[in-house]
Amino acid sequence: MLVDDAVALVPSIPGRRALLGLAGPPAAGKSTLARRLVSGVNHRLGAGTAAYVPMDGFHLANAQLDRLGLRGRKGAPETFDVDGYVALLRRLRGERGRAVYAPDFDRRLDEPVAAGLVVLPEARLVVTEGNYLADDGPGWTSVRDLLDDLWYVEVPRELRERRLLRRHVRGGRSERDARAFIATSERPNARRIERSRAFCSRVVSPGE
């Protein structure tokens, strides 16, 4: 079970914290798996041992995307604050004596929410997930250097795109607009992410 492997990453030395990353294309099930791993570790080792911090909180705000002319590319690497995400990972590695706050992402608002999450001092494992954790573009390679392990989450493309269609329609897009966004943004992003598989230690399925 993947939970067993996550438990094995938890440091036995007091004062240390491990970071597990989950990379993969949109709607592969990264957040579902991350929450399951955190829940499983906490069940085994005690509440608060593991915490979940998604990369999605580092989406640029829609106002910034509009300013940059990138609203139609939302979800591409350049639409994230990678430097802010790297700085957070460094804090999570280095700060154990105080709470670390992190941004979350509200899908209803389609916007990041400042300090929506907290990692408490007792957390010894942080599971983080996002599309570009294994990317080799500017800024993103620093992410890999800060992770103790990095897994690639994969499901069939047809399943992912059905999930994406439901997600975008629920978020307020018409079916036509949702399909167009998948074709022009989500699908090219997924192809780029798939090329980063080689930088991950293993390929996993959310159902494992």
Query: Is residue 117 in a domain?
Result: yes
Task: Decide if 2 contacts 167 (C-beta within 8 A).
Answer: no
Using DSSP's 3-state secondary structure scheme, residue 152 falls into strand
Q: How far apart are CA 161 and CA 171, in angstroms?
A: 15
> DSSP letter at 71?
G
Domain limits for position 78? 2-156+194-204
Band (15; pLDDT cuts 50, 70, 90): confident
Q: How far apart are CA 82 and CA 128, in angstroms?
A: 14
Query: Is residue 177 in a domain?
Result: no
Question: Domain holding 18: CATH number?
Answer: 3.40.50.300
- pLDDT tens digits, one per residue of 71-109: 989 999 999 999 999 999 999 998 788 999 999 999 889
Query: Is residue 54 in a domain?
Result: yes
| pLDDT score at 96 | 80
| pLDDT score at 46 | 97
Query: Considering the entire predicted model, what is its pTM?
Result: 0.94
Q: How far apart are CA 88 and CA 95, in angstroms?
A: 10
Alpha carbon distances (Å) from 63 to 107, 131, 171, 180: 16, 22, 18, 22
| pLDDT score at 43 | 98
**Token couple for 14:** 């007091």
Band (138; pLDDT cuts 50, 70, 90): very high
Q: How far apart are CA 150 and CA 31, in angstroms?
A: 14
Query: Is residue 169 in a domain?
Result: no
Query: Is residue 161 in a domain?
Result: no
As a whole number, mean pLDDT of residues 149-171 equals 94
Per the structure, the count of domains in the chain is 1
pLDDT above 80 for 29: yes
Task: Decide if 54 contacts 104 (C-beta within 8 A).
Answer: yes
Query: Is residue 99 in a domain?
Result: yes
Query: Is residue 22 in a domain?
Result: yes
pLDDT above 80 for 38: yes
pLDDT above 90 for 113: yes
